[in-house]
């Protein structure tokens, strides 16, 4: 009997040591991956201050989903709070207590949005800068103008914290900083002329690719908590995509979060933010979506 208990104890201690070492290794690899810093020189920008630019910037803040993670008042919002993945909130971007607003320079905003790099040179995590890397000056500069004048809100927001599964996803790459993949030297072209055209829709659709994937064919969202549904196929594929949809079905999905069969979209799809897109913007997006190559779901 004594031998059995001793054996059991040895086994438990052995397992604990292995788990401890594994956990230590995961933690170390995660920290190493997140510690990489990037020296990004940002060309000087001139941020407008007129009311029209600020209004446009506010529209960009909502319709490019910044508000989804940073809150409609820009004071920060909960994105993921999962016992296995970790906790991520968008930081408070106002100049209130706990906010970054008072400290960020114009170049800091450009570095965060287009390059995914924070003021400390670290690659930002969870912030989908790869989708914003090609945001044209005509949207980015008004966006900065808007953020610089949002009313201060006192709100302390904790740093992003990864738990073991989240750490594994950092090592695997799903949760790795977008800065790793962004071409930091690429020139950012002007936006196509604003209009109800497929070309302008393609520019707007960069915001959809973080979840719906580079070909928009949907599938599982990398790094999503287990209870998130997959992103749907937005290509004209008739079996799993939007092949049977009309423009008015698309409007209804975005504006009322309702599909043609009457079912509601999951709140994971930030449709309430996209609902604020103008009719022309939604028409442009639809004009683009009908032109993309039909693909089966998750075929990128
Ligand atoms: C999916 C959620 C999400 C979206 C969408 C998002 N952000 Fe963020 N953002 C974050 C998180 C999380 C951080 C903090 C990341 C970190 O500290 O590693 C962050 C950080 C920032 C920072 C601070 C950078 C620094 O120096 O610390 C700025 C500025 C910012 N975001 C602006 C924006 C703007 C503007 C948009 C829209 C164009 C946007 N974000 C969209 C989640 C998001
Ligand atoms: C944060 C992730 C995310 C982003 C960003 C996002 N989507 Fe979605 N979308 C989803 C998810 C998840 C679903 C599936 C929702 C469900 O199953 O109820 C979805 C569903 C949809 C649907 C319904 C499709 C169907 O067959 O029912 C449409 C249309 C759609 N998205 C369009 C867009 C467009 C257009 C954009 C960009 C402007 C976009 N989405 C950006 C996550 C996202």
User: pLDDT digits over 233-246, tens only?
Assistant: 999 999 999 999 99
Cα dihedral sign for 271, 276, 281, 282?
positive
Model confidence at 65: pLDDT above 90: yes
- pLDDT above 70: percentage of residues in the chain: 100
Task: Establish whether residue 198 lines the binding site of ligand 2, counting it when its CB lies within 6 angstroms of any ligand atom.
Answer: no
Tell which residue, 120, 123, 132, 224, has the closest CA to residue 180. Answer: 123
Q: What is the pLDDT of residue 251?
A: 98
Which ligand 2 atom is nearest residue 131's CA? Answer: 5
* Residue range 268-295, pLDDT digits in tens: 998 889 999 999 999 999 999 999 999 9
Torsion, Cα 206 207 213 214, to 10 degrees, reads 10
CB 241 within 8 A of CB 234: yes
Q: Regarding predicted confidence, which is higher, 6 or 75?
A: 75
Q: What is the pLDDT of residue 30?
A: 86
Q: What is the pLDDT of residue 282?
A: 98
Ligand 1, atom 34, lies closest to the CA of 66
Task: Establish whether residue 117 lines the binding site of ligand 1, counting it when its CB lies within 6 angstroms of any ligand atom.
Answer: no
How many whole angstroms separate alpha carbon 290 and alpha carbon 178? 28
How many whole angstroms separate alpha carbon 122 and alpha carbon 184? 14
Q: What is the pLDDT of residue 72?
A: 96
Model confidence at 29: pLDDT above 60: yes
Q: What is the pLDDT of residue 222?
A: 78
Task: Establish whether residue 143 lines the binding site of ligand 1, counting it when its CB lies within 6 angstroms of any ligand atom.
Answer: yes
Residues 188-207 have a mean pLDDT of: 97
Q: What is the pLDDT of residue 122?
A: 95
Residues 189-211 have a mean pLDDT of: 96
22-26, 169-173, 188-192, 269-273: range with highest mean pLDDT: 188-192
- pTM of the shown model: 0.93
**290 CA → ligand 1 middle, Å:** 31
Residues 241-256 have a mean pLDDT of: 97
CB 49 within 8 A of CB 134: no
Tokens representing residue 64 in the block: 């490019």
Torsion, Cα 83 155 273 231, to 10 degrees, reads -20
Which ligand 2 atom is nearest residue 274's CA? Answer: 38
Task: Establish whether residue 168 lines the binding site of ligand 1, counting it when its CB lies within 6 angstroms of any ligand atom.
Answer: no
Q: Regarding predicted confidence, which is higher, 35 or 93?
A: 93
What angle (nearest 5°) sits at the alpha carbon of residue 250, between those of residues 283 and 61?
65
Based on the number of CB atoms within 10 Å of its own CB, is 87 exposed (0-12), middle (13-18) or buried (19 or more)?
Answer: middle
CB 141 within 8 A of CB 46: yes
How many whole angstroms separate alpha carbon 194 and alpha carbon 17? 60
What does the radius of gyration of the chain's CA atoms come to, in whole angstroms?
A: 22
Q: What is the pLDDT of residue 1?
A: 57
Q: Mean pLDDT in the chain?
A: 94
Model confidence at 223: pLDDT above 90: no
């Amino acid at each position: 009997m004594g031998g059995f208990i001793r054996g059991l104890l040895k086994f438990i201690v052995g397992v604990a040591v292995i788990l401890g070492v594994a956990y230590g290794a995961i933690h170390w690899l995660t920290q190493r991956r997140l510690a990489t810093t990037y020296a990004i020189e940002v060309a000087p920008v001139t941020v407008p201050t007129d009311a029209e630019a600020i209004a446009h910037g506010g529209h960009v803040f909502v319709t490019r989903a910044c508000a989804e993670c940073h809150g409609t008042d820009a004071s920060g919002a909960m994105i993921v709070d999962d016992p296995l993945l970790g906790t991520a909130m968008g930081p408070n971007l106002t100049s209130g207590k706990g906010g970054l607003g008072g400290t960020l320079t114009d170049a800091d905003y450009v570095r965060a949005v287009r390059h995914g790099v924070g003021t400390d040179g670290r690659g930002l995590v969870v912030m989908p800068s790869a989708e914003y890397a090609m945001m044209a000056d005509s949207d980015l500069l008004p966006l900065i103008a808007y953020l610089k004048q949002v009313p201060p809100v006192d709100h302390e927001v904790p740093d992003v914290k990864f738990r073991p599964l989240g750490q594994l996803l950092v090592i695997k790459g799903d949760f790795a900083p977008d800065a790793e993949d962004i071409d930091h030297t690429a020139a950012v072209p002007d936006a196509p002329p604003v209009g109800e055209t497929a070309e302008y829709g393609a520019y707007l659709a960069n915001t959809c690719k973080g979840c719906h994937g580079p070909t928009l064919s949907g599938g599982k969202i990398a790094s999503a908590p287990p209870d998130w549904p997959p992103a749907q196929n937005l290509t004209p594929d008739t079996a799993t995509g939007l092949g049977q949809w009309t423009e008015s079905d698309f409007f209804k999905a975005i504006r009322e979060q309702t599909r043609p069969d009457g079912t509601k979209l999951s709140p994971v799809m930030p449709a309430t933010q996209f609902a604020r897109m103008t009719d022309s913007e939604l028409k442009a997006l639809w004009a683009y979506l009908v032109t993309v190559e039909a693909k089966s779901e998750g075929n990128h």
